[in-house]
Structure 1
Amino acid sequence: MPPPDNKFVAKAKAILEANDRNGYTVPTHRLYPFQWNWDSAFVAMGFAQFDVDRAFRELERLVEGQWADGMIPHIVFHDLSGADSYYPGPAVWGTSHTVATSGITQPPVFAIALRAVHDAAAAVDPAAANARTLPLYEAALKWQRWWYAARDPENTGLVALLHPWESGSDNSPAWDIALARVPTTTIKPVVRKDTNHVAAAMRPHDQDYARFIHLVETYADAGWDPAQQWATAPFKIAEIQTTAILLKAGEDLARFAADFGRASDAADLAALNARTRAALLAQWRPALNRFVSRDLVSGADVDASTHAGFVPVLALDLDAPVARAMVAEMARWSAGKLGGLPTTEPGTPIWEPKRYWRGPVWAVINWLLINGLHRNAHPAFADQLREATLAVIETTAGFAEYFDPDTGEGCGGGDFSWTAAAYLCLRGVDRGDGS
């Protein structure tokens, strides 16, 4: 049974409620004043710990931004009243939909969240849970099919990212080589606003932003057509973290398909999942004790030592020797560090413990890994990550966006929604499965 509420549980709930904007949740005030895709999926799982109706509403609001082709964008601009604090806004994206959105996507945590929210609701009223879940299942399935059609047109089983922001790990060292090919020229000046809220030492460099916006303008010029984007993309990475999340989403959707008697959906999902499972397993590199992405422009492995190399544990049933090797590598990275697993390997040239996705610890990444470690029969290390995540929040940093693994300092934005959500899931569920 979960422990009784403590002051941190109360604070986490209060953060989610304070960041509520009429049924959707902003990641944090001012710095991120709109609805972000994978943030909201984690937030829904946090709400499901104490308010299932609100958890469903989070996902329903996100689906309001879904495109006709199935893509769920990475930002939905429901309300532009906070636009002065954020760049790039709708005018930069130049998309044309009923609800203003960005033109790219983010890791598909949505179906994973839907499974957790549904199961929490079904514990009280199974019929009502199914009724509210069904349209969201349809939206998630449409998005799942979009991923394979738009981002794996050659049917490899690995889905590709066309922009670093689609990974959620915006300035990861995994993108350095591929991103260096992208010009820094932009049609309009880049007007950063993030560094008005967070120290520049904790954010991507200006040169990174220039390349990010160059890609946005390139795809806007292509009319946001997936086939034209694929043909012209200077950045194209078959990415293991996103693919692993897609596979886990596919497993959860397959369970829904069986529950809802959708035999055709179930068969389609089984085939897609099998292809992706085989493709992910082929990306294991024994010399590194982790998985690697692939640069589809150069054909080379993306072997930068980042946390993404471990995320396939979420969706794969690994052979015992592989799982042991991966856990040993994760333990080596985490040794002597605070908060859990750093996002890059400590002590390497790419290691920056305070700079966004180049070294800090993120509670939601720990959450994904904890789930995968339980799946692969490594509960002891899962418990270590869980306790480290809870400890850095409760004793050092509070609900910061991310954490310096050397000092435990909270970095980035404060009162951060998905950190609060991850805390509620990890503090309230002993086995770490998010249910």
Structure 2
Amino acid sequence: MGLTKKIVLAMIAGIAVGLLLNFLNTSQLLGETVSGLINNYLTTGLFDIVGRIFIASLKLMVVPLVLVSLVCGACALSEGSRVGVLAGKTLLLYLLTTAAAITLALVLALVIQPGAGMEGMASDATFDPQPSPPLSEVLVNIFPTNPVDAMAKGNMLQIIVFALLMGYAVSRSGKPGQRIAGFFNDLNEVIMRMVGVLMVFAPYGVFALLATKIAQLGLDAIVQLMKYFLVVLSALLLHAFGVYSILLKLLSGLSPLKLIKKMRPAMVFAFSTASSAATIPVTLQTVEKRLGVDNKVASFTVPLGATINMDGTAIMQGVATVFISQLYGIDIGLMGYLTVILTATLASIGTAGVPGVGLIMLAMVLQQVGLPLEGIAIVMGVDRLLDMVRTAVNITGDSVVTAIVAKSEGALNVERFNDDNYNSVVANEEDASRTA
């Protein structure tokens, strides 16, 4: 059985177990003592510990993988002086997809009106947002003063800047640079092997994560906000399978169906972990081995996308803005919606390294159009479940932009991309590698 099937089965089992645990805890059929034991030793005990250890193990790989891959990629790119062109294309496409995502979300929410008739929910809502950083501070903080500190804190934008500078310097250093480049290339192979080892335990980690989340949330939160939940979900699916497909076909001529089929392992993994950063190793491995993207492009576009490409979050902000405006009976007008598009698009880069980025970005957007921040408390109930779908959408966007940029740079193996049998070939190679 392939890794994707194992993860899907683990997800189904995790959801089933989580619903069972939630039912036992809320119904009190087993009494308070037994329910307390189940909650303490399973939900917040065993399952929570296994899930957190798995996520921690993945995050362990993120910084060394991004640093080493980017140095290798920058070395190769710098030889042809393509770093600036590549960065420009990638950044422009990420901004374009984010703007398209929030526009789609606003249009869909205005047509369906998820907040109509639910004004009573706004009466007791309270929310205390974290302050958003000023734009000047954000721009300055992109550049590291201490690369070791940036790596220790996992500040991805600073790591990317440092790795690009180092890769450029290595490519311009003659024979010493060649020796250093050889070391980083060898180190990259070792790190990718470590990622393969961790993937063996992915189904168990996914099961534990979903069992814990579903057991804690249940279905009550979704029922109360079903209309909002379905509008956000519809916008996410339309963007993932509609906007991305059109963009990929128009700008590269590649088949969207083949890309989605080959990206399934990364998409499923992103959905189950709800973390773009934790999914970087899987995304990078998938776009290189299954899509045929050269490492010199993938090592730049994938980490950057996981850091600043927040199409899923932008969609949530668009629907949430309309939803909250309808709850409080405030019409922000056409200029207000244009402000939402601009603010959310720029904020996707500006707040990339800030903890709780989704809610901070939403608070920034609401402040710009004069909507009460207390409305965020209402949508938080289902946000954790939608976050899993948002992450899968973000990963899909990263792969689409990566494929488009790689095709334009002549760094895409089109034969491998179009080979329907290559999925099974790669899977067999990965299984053999893990066995060895």
Q: Same fold (TM over 0.5)?
A: no
* TM-score of the two chains, using structure 2 as the length reference: 0.23
* TM-score of the two chains, using structure 1 as the length reference: 0.23
Which structure has the highest strand share of the two?
Answer: 1
Which structure's CA Rg is the greater one?
2
